[in-house]
Amino acid sequence: MISLRQALLTWYRQSGRTLPWRQTRDPYAIWVSEIMLQQTQVKTVLPYYERWLTLFSTVQALAIAEQQQVLKAWEGLGYYARARNLHRAAQAVVLKHNGVFPSDFATVMQLPGIGRTTAGGILSAAFNQPIAILDGNVKRVLARLLALPVPPKRAITQLWHCSEALIDPTFPRDFNQAIMDLGATVCTPQQPLCANCPWKEHCRAYNQGIQAELPMSETRVPIPHKVIGVAVIWNDQGQILIDRRRQEGLLGGLWEFPGGKVEPGETIEACIQREIREELGIEIAVGDRLIVVDHAYSHFRVTLNVHHCRHVSGKPQAIECDEVRWVALAELDQYPFPKANLQIIEALRKGSAKDEG
């Protein structure tokens, strides 16, 4: 056990990554990084992390910000509940803990958006507390170290015990960072670089030559494909109608161009007209197609058929959303949109620029 720890720590001090959130011990900054890194790769997070700490440099600054500012800063990162929970948790830290991030595991776990792995990640990194973690990297490393004969999801309890048994009681901060780096840079999902691994002598998978077969994969359900009709509705003032999605569920709190699912046998145009009547209570005329956007979410994929539309009658009502608003094209970038909708905005910009040019 001791030689395992020392081998990993020695490797880390030689080959570990230099990352901005390792240059600080500010619990808030480390917390922000841990939330952004959930299910998201380091390379993707880096620019968001730097910008976030410029916009919201303290937990107090985040707590007093408007949710729309917070979502705008998160725009493009995905899993937007992370941003909403981080915002709520910042308000809880200010109100319940006098703006001081708690150092007690059970208290940290109470904060929205922080589970067992994130709590351990923050407390070990910020306070050097010996609390184990079990993220995707650690699961893969341990599945190979143990030659786990089942998918990691079927052995969560065993993997937690293993992570707790392994963590170095003297250098828990470095140990947790080191095992994640090992998974990210050496014990990779495909073609692991076992020759460079400090644990190759201890790794059951390597010694059996089955490291490429592990961890065993989960059986996945095929993801459905939805065809969606989307409306860019113009009024006589040259404004566009957008709506804000409800807080709960997919893309909660973000703005979008209204629309909905095409029913079997229905044309795109008929779908758009029907959906706008049902969701906003107005009549429109459906015009030319603007763009077709294909986009993959985590559990389904969509094709957005986007059409220019003209407002005919009725005042838009927030029937199936939180808010509706008429906005100018130039104002759209003030609102947080999902990625698929940013492509629509780009298409509108190009069309507008072409008209002028």
Partner DNA sequence: GACCCGTGGTT
Partner DNA sequence: TAACCAAGGGT
Q: What residues are annotated to the active site?
A: 34
Distance from C-alpha of 73 to C-alpha of 54, rounded to nearest angstrom = 10
329 contacts 236 by C-beta, under 8 angstroms = no
Which contacts of 90-94 are long-range, i.e. CB under 8 A and separated by 24 or more positions?
Answer: 90/59, 90/62, 90/63, 91/63, 93/59, 93/63, 94/59, 94/60, 94/63
In the complex with DNA, the residue whose CB is nearer, 216 or 270, is 216
CB of 177 to DNA, least distance (A): 6
Where do contacts with DNA occur on this chain (CB under 7 A)?
A: 19, 21-22, 33-34, 37-44, 76-81, 85, 112-119, 121, 135-137, 140, 156, 177, 180-181, 183-184, 189-191, 217-218, 220-223, 249-252, 295-299, 338-340
345 contacts 337 by C-beta, under 8 angstroms = yes
In the complex with DNA, the residue whose CB is nearer, 270 or 347, is 347
CB of 118 to DNA, least distance (A): 3
Give the pair of three-digit tokens for residue 242.
């957008």
Is the CA virtual torsion 52, 56, 62, 65 positive or negative? negative
CB of 180 to DNA, least distance (A): 4
CB of 311 to DNA, least distance (A): 27
| 3-class DSSP assignment, residue 86 | helix
CB of 237 to DNA, least distance (A): 29
Give the pair of three-digit tokens for residue 22.
């390792």
In the complex with DNA, the residue whose CB is nearer, 191 or 313, is 191
In the complex with DNA, the residue whose CB is nearer, 297 or 326, is 297
Give the pair of three-digit tokens for residue 233.
């509705």
In the complex with DNA, the residue whose CB is nearer, 63 or 138, is 138
Q: Strand (E) positions, the chain?
A: 225-234, 240-244, 255-256, 259-261, 283-296, 301-313, 323-327
